[in-house]
Amino acid sequence: MINRVLVANRGEIARRVLRACRDLGVGTVAVHSDPDAAAPHVREADVAGRLPGASPAETYLSVERLLAVAKRAGADAVHPGYGFLSENADFARAVADAGLTWIGPPPEAIAAMGSKIEAKKLMAAADVPVLPEIDPARVGDADLPLLVKASAGGGGRGMRVVRTPEELRDAVAGARREAESAFGDPTVFCEPLLEDARHIEVQILADAHGTVWTLGERECSIQRRHQKIIEEAPSPAVGPELRARLCGAAASAARAIGYAGAGTVEFMLARDGRFYFLEVNTRLQVEHPVTECVYGVDLVRLQIEVAEGARLPAAPPEPRGHAVEVRLYAEDPAQDWRPASGTLHTFEVPDADAEFAVPAAYGLRLDSGVESGSEVGVHYDPMLAKVIAWAPSRAAAARRLAAALRGARIHGLTTNRDLLVRILEEPGFLDGATDTGYLDRVGLDTLAAPLADEAAVRVSALAAALAQAAASRAGAAVLGGLPSGWRNVRSQPQRRTFQGPGGPVDVDYRLDRNGLTSELCPGTSLLSAAPDGVVLDHDGLRETFTVTAAGDAVHVDSRLGPVTLVAVPRFADPSGRIAPGSLLAPMPGTVVRVETEPGAEVAEGRTLVVLEAMKMEHRIAAPSAGTVAELNVTAGQQVESGAVLAVIEGTPE
């Protein structure tokens, strides 16, 4: 029996494993880097050990430090979660050599699937359909389009699409850099690109006594940068006959490598109905909650029990209903998926029926690595949480999930929440027309549009101004119940200016014996105003606005959509002005490459600097055509958010 588990991970998955351990009565040990010292998973464990440093290499990827914490804390088992060392055969062996139980598949199975190149050969030998491998040095025009892929790791890192011969060299070089940084192995290979295919995967669970479960399929086709953002079970494209073939291939793959524990066999499903092996993820998947909901199982608990030597029943439970999961990221889809870092002032998802567990009945599940006040840094993946809806039908699950996201209060960081809601409500998605080309086909101009339109921004700005006015009068001895600006006779309007999502918003209003009048929102009347909330009669409807101030930012949540505003001071500080044409770092990061030089003529949109942050490369492009007047960075340099990387002077007409 396992008595105490060290969770060799962080964030959401660490909390998920800790919850399963608590349910089993198993003691827990957390680990943390210095930036994660105050993270929720650290508090929730029985004991926590520090991994000095900030970067993954010196913390969550340090086998020596992880095992040292396990020894000090008296752990007798290690659960790796996903990512980091979860698919590292050497780590699994080191755990066993230290006399600890490894909660995962045998190191030999991990090693067999650790190289995608070798894994494809093994699967072909087991009669599992595979795509041909193409040597990057031997690519010809007939091989295009193709996909460059890292042989080690996953999560979309080290992957590039190549459509023309001119793109190949840079794509291979970029994939190698990213693979080396993320997985310590720069090996890449190429394979044919299946256009508009579906990404389908089968959950497997096997014990050490020969029983292999296949727990249906998940569809994970909606992806950005080859990383999944929406997953569901079952797939709307898979019927009983295809499901049987997929599950049969997955079971064959598991038996071919002597698998035990939880894992996932991933396939690409082409438009003609044929499917091809991609890889075996020898670990728990991010999207495991949708399978847990549909099959009514706890995969982490089963992982622990299998590691203890338990036998699985001969057959898994029968599936029930449909589950959809979204990954909530701190990123801006409209700005090339630019990640965000900083303080998450508010994080609330109301009406969640369960956290890190299957709801007692159809309902909403939340698996989050953050809470209100959490700091989101630049060293790790920007995923904040997963929100999962489980319902009798796919349409019901999508509706429940969209409503939950609309009602969530998320302040302080830009997220992909609005994009997720728009996808869940988009007709093509609801019809099941999801494939890997979905985002490009529907278009980010549609899907990344804010939920709050211009009219909603205006009335939200009015509500923010009225809430601030109420706050200034709070506790006043005379007429304290009236917001600032109230006059017995008509006077000059009150004025405030906010920077809104689309630019400045000037708010003017009067409050007198006749009520509220505002040219910004004609016909809107005030029903009540408090520092944290305003009720307006707007377009003949009673609308409630929840207002939250955080520094200069004002967050307004309502049925009309979330709006973040920034108060504009009446007198700007001239020392804070930035020279026109400045190219600013959108986030803290490391300069990987500089692709220009002082005096160079550049076109609008040309990549000038490549930054690495949150495990991914980000291209920083020229905001306009012109000449590079200043270049302030070199490769390898660390930069802070807002740093001036270069200055572009416009080309005279």
**The two domains 104-130+195-318 and 321-449 share their CATH topology (first three levels equal):** yes
Model confidence at 551, in pLDDT bands (50, 70, 90)? confident
**What pLDDT shows up at residue 653?**
46
Find the range with the poorest average confidence among 38-42, 113-117, 241-245, 382-386: 113-117
Interaxial angle between packed helices 89-97 and 107-114, expressed in degrees from 0 to 180 and rounded to the nearest 10 = 160
Q: In which band, very low, low, confident or very high, does the pLDDT at 81 lie, cut at 50, 70 and 90? A: very high
Q: Where are the beta strands (DSSP E) in 342-425?
A: 342-344, 346-348, 354-355, 363-368, 374-376, 383-391, 409-411
The per-residue pLDDT for range 416-470, each reduced to its tens digit, is: 999 999 999 999 999 999 999 999 999 999 999 999 999 999 999 999 999 999 9
Amino acid at 25: G
State the DSSP H helix or E strand holding residue 400, giving kind and residue range, or none if neither. helix 394-407
What is the structure's pLDDT at 587? 76
Domain positions in the chain:
4-103, 104-130+195-318, 132-192, 321-449, 454-567, 578-650
Q: What are phi and psi of 326, to 5 degrees?
A: -120, 145
Residue 360's Cβ-count burial label (10 Å; 0-12, 13-18, 19+) is exposed
Bridge pairing between strands 374-376 and 342-344: antiparallel
Closest CA to 279 of 150, 461, 136: 150
CA distances from 605 to 169, 226, 333, 608, 643 (A): 20, 23, 17, 9, 19
CA dihedral 388, 392, 394, 397 (to 10 degrees): -30
Q: Are 463 and 536 in contact (CB under 8 A)?
A: yes
What CATH class is the domain 578-650?
Answer: mainly beta
**pLDDT higher than threshold 80 for residue 570:** no
Q: Are 358 and 325 in contact (CB under 8 A)?
A: no
Residues 615-636 pLDDT 10s:
677 888 888 889 999 899 998 8
What pLDDT is stored for residue 613 in this prediction?
A: 77
Other beta carbons within 10 angstroms of residue 329's beta carbon come to 26
CATH architecture of the domain covering 132-192: 2-Layer Sandwich (3.30)
**With pLDDT > 70 as the criterion, what percentage of the chain qualifies?**
95
* Sole residue written with tokens 């086998």: 63
Q: Is the dihedral of CA 490, 496, 502, 503 positive or negative?
A: positive
Asked whether residue 48 carries a pLDDT value surpassing 80, the answer given is yes
* C-alpha triplet 183, 188, 191: angle, nearest 5°: 130
Q: Going by CATH, does the domain composed of 321-449 fall within 3.90.78.10?
A: no
Confidence of residue 574 (pLDDT cuts 50, 70, 90): low
* Position 336 pLDDT exceeds 80: yes
* Alpha-carbon distances, residue 417 vs 229, 332, 447 (angstroms): 11, 9, 11
Q: For residues 247 and 348, what is the distance between their CA atoms, to the nearest angstrom?
A: 38
Give the C-alpha separation, 278 to 14, whole Å: 27
pLDDT, mean of residues 152-158 = 76
Pick the CATH number of 104-130+195-318 from 3.60.70.12, 3.30.360.10, 3.30.390.50, 3.30.470.20: 3.30.470.20
Tell me the mean pLDDT in the region 300-312.
98
* Residue showing tokens 């060293």: 379
Let me know the angle formed at the C-alpha of 526 by 523 and 529, rounded to the nearest 5 degrees.
150
The SS3 call for residue 294 is helix
Q: Which CATH architecture has domain 4-103?
A: 3-Layer(aba) Sandwich (3.40)
What pLDDT is stored for residue 605 in this prediction? 85
**CB 15, CB 44: distance < 8 Å:** yes
The residue written with tokens 């959108």 in the block is 586
Decide if pLDDT at 220 tops 60.
yes
Residues listed for the chain = 653
Residue by residue, DSSP assigns 550-616 as: ETTEEEEE-TT--EEEEEPPSS--GGG---TTEEE-SSSEEEEEE---TT-EE-TT-EEEEEEETTE
Give domain 454-567's CATH number out of 3.40.1000, 3.30.700, 3.30.70, 2.60.40. Answer: 3.30.700
- Is 336 or 71 the better-scoring residue by pLDDT? 71
Q: Interhelix angle for 299-307 vs 11-24, to 10°?
A: 60
DSSP 134: B
Residue 201: strand pairing partners? 218, 266
- Distance CA(381)–CA(401), nearest Å, equals 23
Q: Which of 367, 411, 374 is nearest to 389 (CA)?
A: 367
